[in-house]
Structure 1
Amino acid sequence: MTTLTDRPGTALLVIDVQNGVMAASHDTEAVVGRIEGLVSRAREAHVPVVWVQHSSEELPVGSPQWEYVLQLQRADGEALVAKQHGDSFEATDLEQVLAEAGAGRLVVAGAQTDACIRSTIHGAFTRGYDVVLVGDAHTTEDLTAYGAPAPADVISHTNLYWGFQTAPGRTAAVVPAADVEFAG
């Protein structure tokens, strides 16, 4: 149903599941395990897995904190998108990668819920993509000291509002990892 009519395919976006991001994230082990399962299922279904990797002062390129967590390894031929902004589309080649893959539907997992996940799902939706947020496969760190809600509440709220997102010709959904269907 995407507005990108020449792109009937699906892609799995794995966003910023890096050591420095996940070190203080909520329910890290379970979230990484679910993402690992999603990656495996996407590969079995011949659905492209697109890895997004953030760099910043806290995540310098090549540093241990910049590296993806050990449990998640990019396979040969899978796209890697380097980014420096919250929205994975901003100043990156993500749009080109997805166009070449014929993907108009995105399944999104990773971190951080209230930053790069939020920015990317909104950025994708406004660009015409159907966006499935994997409700139990995204996480964030505890920022309550700065006035933010607890991580579980941030995740819950994001899942709540994304399930009601609407726009002409596009769909938004929140689905648990176990129920994600990859239509290749």
Structure 2
Amino acid sequence: MNPTPETALLLVDVINSFYEQDQTNYYPEVEKTLPALASLLDTARARDALVVHAVERHYRGLADFEFAKLPRHHQAGEHDVNFFPGFEPAERVREIVIPKRRYSAFYATDLELLLREQSITRVIVAGVKTNVCIRATVQDAFAGGFEVVVPREATNSNRPHLAEATLEDIERYFGHVVSLHEAEALL
């Protein structure tokens, strides 16, 4: 990996739904990602890197194709879509929120346009779940011509076998799976 590209941190779904106990999508293993996510976020802010908070948000009460596969979830204004404490966006120019209605942070959002306008060529993708939203985001980032990096410690799934298979696929086909330390060095 070339350390000179302009790099952005893309945090995916670091929201109450996954990280707060008793929420629908919470699973105990998710807590293991919090130290790595916090470290990535602190490093990105300290180095003035672009930080994108990609969060799933659906329109309240309206039809949504995704609801054919999953029950209604992550509707705007509900508690489960709020940022998990400590991961709220900072009041700084280089930190933004991208709402998404599908698994990928790129599909039907302006994320690719934003990244290109900021001369970003590499994205560090972290958050949940490895085999769903992380994979979809990584695949679309790769398809869009971005170098993709996924820090192993900063993602997981309630289906560990699928998370491992996904990380293997990402390393083989879409990008690089690295340690937290290696990812932070790229910011």
Is the structural similarity TM-score above 0.5? Answer: yes
Q: How many residues align?
A: 166
Cα offset, 1:183, TM superposition: 4.0
The corresponding residue for 1:32 is 34
In percent, how many aligned pairs have the same letter?
A: 28
SS of the residue corresponding to residue 124 of structure 2 reads strand
SS of the residue corresponding to residue 91 of structure 1 reads coil
Q: In structure 2, which of residues 160, 164, 173 is the aligned counterpart of residue 165 of structure 1?
A: 173
The corresponding residue for 1:179 is 182
CA distance in 2, matches of 1:62, 1:121: 27
Larger relative helix fraction? 2
Equivalences for 1:18-167 in 2 at 5 Å?
Answer: 18-23=15-20, 24-56=26-58, 57-76=72-91, 77=93, 78-141=95-158, 151-165=159-173
Q: Taking structure 1 as reference, are residues 71 and 181 closer, same or farther at Cα in structure 2, changes over 3 Å only?
A: closer
State yes or no: 1:8 paired with 2:20: no
The answer (yes or no) to whether the contact 1:10–1:182 under 8 Å persists in 2 is: no
The answer (yes or no) to whether the contact 2:18–2:30 under 8 Å persists in 1 is: no
CA distance in 2, matches of 1:182, 1:91: 31
Unaligned runs of 5+ in 2: 21-25, 59-71
Q: Which TM-score applies when normalising by structure 2? A: 0.81
Q: Which TM-score applies when normalising by structure 1? A: 0.82
The answer (yes or no) to whether the contact 1:132–1:175 under 8 Å persists in 2 is: yes
CA distance in 2, matches of 1:68, 1:33: 16
The answer (yes or no) to whether the contact 2:15–2:84 under 8 Å persists in 1 is: yes
